[in-house]
């Protein structure tokens, strides 16, 4: 089973806590022992936002701000690499080919951002499509996809299951509301739809929630199921 796991920066490193990073590394190692081929994509989180805010005040343009954010995601990726030991590719890939080569030869590959204008949400979806992954998992700070931003709307309802087309519609509506944020961005949702990629969005603040989701399809988040897709038979356990 080939899996791409997107770990939000605010999930992996809301602050510099080695034990939190070790927790995520432990889950990735467990999945690898179960026979999963793994690519991980790490976000920038609050640290990236702090750097971007400071650089904006200094007059940096939007491309320069994106480049700063990418640099922070790659630093976060190095944190996870440091915790994974010998079974991980020690390099942070700067493109999908390098990440794909590492995954296909049996290494765990950990990457951050790729290019300005593209979030790590979209990078994870594109990597999953590039390596023909069986499953894409978004470990976020909310437990699934909601009808609205649950931080802004107390009446937001969670979807237990939805199609990729429904995901695109919901994310598009959320992103149109100023101040609201979605668990994945619209470009990522469109890539998931294009690739017909089975996807799980879950609360990854406790990394142990990722393991049963990948191994047995057990979680409390949201399943995004390709149109016409059947219940998968490829769970690792």
The pLDDT assigned to 166 comes to: 96
Decide: helix, strand or coil at residue 30.
helix
| Burial group, residue 227, by CB count within 10 angstroms (0-12, 13-18, 19+) | exposed
Residue 2 and residue 209: Cα distance in Å, rounded?
Answer: 18
Q: What is the pLDDT of residues 182-228, one digit of tens each?
A: 899 999 999 999 999 999 999 999 999 999 999 999 999 999 998 86
Per-residue tokens: 230 = 């059947």
In angstroms, what CA-CA distances link 20 with 141, 193, 215, 224? 14, 32, 21, 27
pLDDT digit string, tens, across residues 127-175? 999 999 999 999 999 999 999 888 888 899 999 999 999 999 999 988 8
CA-nearest of 193, 7, 25, 203 to 112 is: 7
The DSSP string of 51-95 is HHHHHHHTT--HHHHHHHHHHHHHHHHHHHHHHHGGGB-SS--SS
């Amino acid at each position: 089973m080939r899996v791409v796991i997107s770990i939000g920066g605010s999930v992996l490193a809301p602050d510099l806590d080695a034990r939190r990073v070790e927790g995520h590394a432990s889950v990735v190692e467990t999945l690898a022992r179960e026979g999963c081929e793994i690519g991980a994509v790490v976000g920038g989180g609050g640290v990236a936002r702090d750097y971007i805010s400071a650089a904006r005040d200094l007059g940096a343009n939007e491309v320069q701000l994106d480049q700063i954010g990418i640099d922070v995601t790659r630093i976060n990726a190095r944190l996870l690499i440091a915790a994974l030991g010998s079974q991980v590719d020690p390099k942070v890939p700067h493109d999908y080919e390098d990440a794909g080569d590492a995954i296909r030869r049996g290494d765990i590959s950990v990457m951050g951002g790729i290019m300005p204008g593209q979030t790590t949400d979209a990078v994870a979806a594109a990597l999953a499509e590039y390596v023909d992954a069986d499953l894409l998992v978004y470990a976020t700070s909310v437990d699934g996809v909601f009808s609205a931003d649950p931080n802004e709307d107390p009446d937001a309802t969670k979807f237990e299951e939805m199609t990729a087309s429904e995901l695109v519609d919901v994310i598009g509506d959320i992103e149109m509301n100023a101040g609201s944020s979605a668990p994945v961005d619209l470009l990522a949702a469109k890539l998931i739809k294009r690739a017909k990629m089975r996807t799980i969005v879950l609360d990854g603040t406790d990394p142990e929630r990722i393991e049963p989701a990948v191994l047995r399809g057990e979680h409390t988040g949201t399943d995004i199921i390709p149109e016409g897709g059947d219940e998968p038979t490829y769970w690792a356990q």
